[in-house]
């Protein structure tokens, strides 16, 4: 868990400068993170930063400034043409491949780059009238050319919850139907329109695991770029452990784990898999396991 200030200066003041992306692309000191289909180019477990001149065709956005003041742009590349042969290019990796192998500051840049690239790719038309839009503010907004409404890369909140027993000695995790049966994780779900975070936690946990909650509290959050989510992490205490049961649709099994069992799974031993190192789900599990509050 982190309560650290971001190390990426988003340089919001630059977004208002007319033609700022053209100016920054012409500056030889500018560096670029290129994203294609949710993947970035990686060399030796580090995200590659290239010169703007190395990019032939892309949609551009300003990501911000690195700690040393270097301006960082996003280049969202078109999908590879189908005519290119299908040999996997191993240096293009996504967040799930890279999670935990690059440091948290780089992970933050990676998530921002993938999230904004997805918006540039998917949101070309006005959701109100269907009109064409024009990028503004260094590609952090679009204005509809027909109805003149402004649109922004919205973030969808979702809750993710570590549910513990009343005595704090066991953790309730669920196996999602899409995970193949071996993987267990915290319960999670999107906030619906008109719903508070707290209401979402109570609803999702009851729907997916059958238990009701005696208490809950916020711990931390993490941006997640699929497509642009904000995972809001909670710890909750169950009212009655015995009521735990899977919903049978999204969740195919729920199970109470002791700290010893979580130790084994975190070490990668035994039959149970846990979420990957870049995820807030794993951070919530590790925090509970280590007795952090
Ligand atoms: Zn419109």
From first CA to last CA, the distance across the chain in angstroms is: 10
d(CA 161, CA 203): 12
Give the Å distance between the CA of 23 and the centre of ligand 1: 29
Give the Å distance between the CA of 123 and the centre of ligand 1: 12
Give the Å distance between the CA of 131 and the centre of ligand 1: 5
**C-alpha dihedral sign at 270, 233, 96, 185:** positive
- Tens digits of residue pLDDT in 55-112: 989 999 999 999 999 999 999 999 876 544 444 544 788 887 777 778 888 888 999 9
Contact 180, 272 (CB under 8 A): no
Residue 33 confidence (pLDDT): 95
Is pLDDT above 80 for 6?
yes
Give the Å distance between the CA of 165 and the centre of ligand 1: 50
Burial class (CB in 10 A: 0-12, 13-18, 19+), 50: middle
Closest residue by Cα to residue 9 from 81, 66, 50, 61: 66
Give the Å distance between the CA of 88 and the centre of ligand 1: 39
Assign 1 a pLDDT band (cuts: 50, 70, 90).
low
Residue 277 confidence (pLDDT): 83
- Tens digits of residue pLDDT in 233-250: 999 999 999 999 999 898
Give the Å distance between the CA of 58 and the centre of ligand 1: 24
d(CA 235, CA 215): 9
Closest residue by Cα to residue 32 from 8, 11, 48: 48
Give the Å distance between the CA of 132 and the centre of ligand 1: 7
d(CA 134, CA 258): 54
Tokens of 186: 């915290």
Give the Å distance between the CA of 129 and the centre of ligand 1: 4
- Tens digits of residue pLDDT in 199-221: 999 999 999 999 999 999 999 99
- DSSP-derived pairing of the beta strands 156-164 and 150-151: unpaired
**C-alpha dihedral sign at 136, 137, 143, 148:** negative
d(CA 272, CA 263): 11
- Tens digits of residue pLDDT in 16-47: 999 999 999 999 999 999 999 998 988 777 78
Residue 227 confidence (pLDDT): 84
Give the Å distance between the CA of 125 and the centre of ligand 1: 8
* Three-class secondary structure of residue 50 per DSSP: strand
β strands within the chain, DSSP E: 31-36, 39-43, 46-47, 59-65, 71-76, 92-94, 133-136, 141-144, 150-151, 156-164, 170-176, 187-190, 213-224, 229-238, 251-258
Residue given tokens 């916020």 in the structure block: 218
Give the helix ranges, DSSP H, for 160-258: 197-209
Give the Å distance between the CA of 141 and the centre of ligand 1: 13
Give the Å distance between the CA of 70 and the centre of ligand 1: 36
Give the Å distance between the CA of 133 and the centre of ligand 1: 8
Q: Please indicate, yes or no, whether the overall pTM of this predicted structure exceeds 0.85.
A: yes
Residue 187 confidence (pLDDT): 97
What DSSP string runs through 106-132?
HHHHHHHHHHHHHHHHH--B-TTT--B
Contact 39, 225 (CB under 8 A): no
Closest residue by Cα to residue 235 from 180, 188, 284: 284
Assign 2 a pLDDT band (cuts: 50, 70, 90).
low
Give the Å distance between the CA of 121 and the centre of ligand 1: 17
Asked whether the bond before 147 is cis by omega within 30 degrees of 0, the reply is no
Give the Å distance between the CA of 153 and the centre of ligand 1: 15
Give the Å distance between the CA of 142 and the centre of ligand 1: 10
Give the Å distance between the CA of 143 and the centre of ligand 1: 8
- Which domains are seen in the chain, by residue range? 12-80+90-151 (3.90.79.20), 156-290 (3.90.79.10)
Give the Å distance between the CA of 124 and the centre of ligand 1: 11
- Tens digits of residue pLDDT in 123-179: 999 999 999 999 999 999 999 999 999 999 999 999 999 999 999 999 999 999 888
Give the Å distance between the CA of 115 and the centre of ligand 1: 23
């Amino acid at each position: 868990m982190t309560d650290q200030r971001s190390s990426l200066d988003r340089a919001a003041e630059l977004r208002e400068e007319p033609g700022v992306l053209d100016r920054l692309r012409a500056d030889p000191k500018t560096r670029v993170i290129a994203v294609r289909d949710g993947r970035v180019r990686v060399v030796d477990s580090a995200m590659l930063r290239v010169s703007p001149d190395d990019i032939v065709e892309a949609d551009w956005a300003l990501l911000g400034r690195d700690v040393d003041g270097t301006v960082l742009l996003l280049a969202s590349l078109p999908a590879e043409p189908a005519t290119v042969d299908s040999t996997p290019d191993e240096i293009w990796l996504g967040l799930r491949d890279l999670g935990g192998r690059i440091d948290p500051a780089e992970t933050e840049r990676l998530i921002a780059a993938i999230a904004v690239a997805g918006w540039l790719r998917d949101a070309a038309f006005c959701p109100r009238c269907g009109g064409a839009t024009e990028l503004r503010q260094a590609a952090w907004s679009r204005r509809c050319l027909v109805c003149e409404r402004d649109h922004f890369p919205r973030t969808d909140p979702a809750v993710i919850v570590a549910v513990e027993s009343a005595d704090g000695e066991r953790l309730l995790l669920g196996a999602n139907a899409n995970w193949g049966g071996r993987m267990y994780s915290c319960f999670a779900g999107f906030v619906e329109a008109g719903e508070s975070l707290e209401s979402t936690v109570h609803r999702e946990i009851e729907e997916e695991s059958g238990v009701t909650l005696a208490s809950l509290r916020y711990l931390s959050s993490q941006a997640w770029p699929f497509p642009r989510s904000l995972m809001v992490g909670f710890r909750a205490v169950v009212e009655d452990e015995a009521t735990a049961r899977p919903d049978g649709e999204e969740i195919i099994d729920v199970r109470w784990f002791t700290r010893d069992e979580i130790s084994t799974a975190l070490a990668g031993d035994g039959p149970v898999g846990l979420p990957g190192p870049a995820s807030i789900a794993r951070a919530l599990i590790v925090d509970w396991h280590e007795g952090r509050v």
